[in-house]
Amino acid sequence: MESYQVERLKINYKTLEEFTKFHEYGLPELSMLDDLQANMIENDSLSPFYGIYRDGQLAARISLYRVDAKYDRYFHPAQDHYEIWKLEVLPQYRGQGLGQALVAYAKSLGLPIKTNARRRSDPFWVKMGFVPVHYDPARDRGESPYVWLPAGAELRD
């Protein structure tokens, strides 16, 4: 597999323009644009997004949100972990391992990871070493949660 450079994305007009090409575009992105326009955040502030550029454009992205231990509902003992959102590869760059490279980057951070396997993406997450949790309707509310556990981390019962 080719190795790709994963970069933390900075919030600026160029990045926000790149984001408009992705299917998952909503309040998180609009909120960044509002904050930038209102000078509530500085240009080039760090975003929760990481990405891979190809041919001079953002080809794939992932949102890695660090969840504080006090909000942990998945691991034992409760601990800081990452939640993966908005993993998306532009259509013309699919099948080249970019999604895998982004998830490998997330795992390299060494904390447990929780994600929601949407739209029948379960085989992808299993290939990446994730496992399904026991579905709890009150906690998971329609999600299909998958987690990745680094050495020593355990699932909550």
The residue ranges that bind its own copies (CB under 8 A) are 23-28, 30-31, 48, 63, 65, 67, 83, 85-86, 117-120, 122, 132-135, 137, 140-145
We find the least distance from the C-beta atom of residue 27 to its own copies, in angstroms, to be: 4
Q: Tell the smallest beta-carbon distance from residue 3 to its own copies (Å).
A: 27
Closer to its own copies by CB, 56 or 120: give it: 120
Cβ proximity to its own copies, 23 vs 151, nearer residue: 23
Cα distance between residue 46 and residue 49, in whole Å: 8
| Helix/strand/coil (H/E/C) assignment for every residue in 72-105 | CCCEECCCCEEEEEEEEECHHHCCCCHHHHHHHH
Q: How far is the CB of 8 from its own copies (least distance, A)?
A: 16
For residue 81, report the phi and psi dihedrals to the nearest 5 degrees: -150, 170
Q: What angle do CA 65, 115, 141 make, to 5 degrees?
A: 105
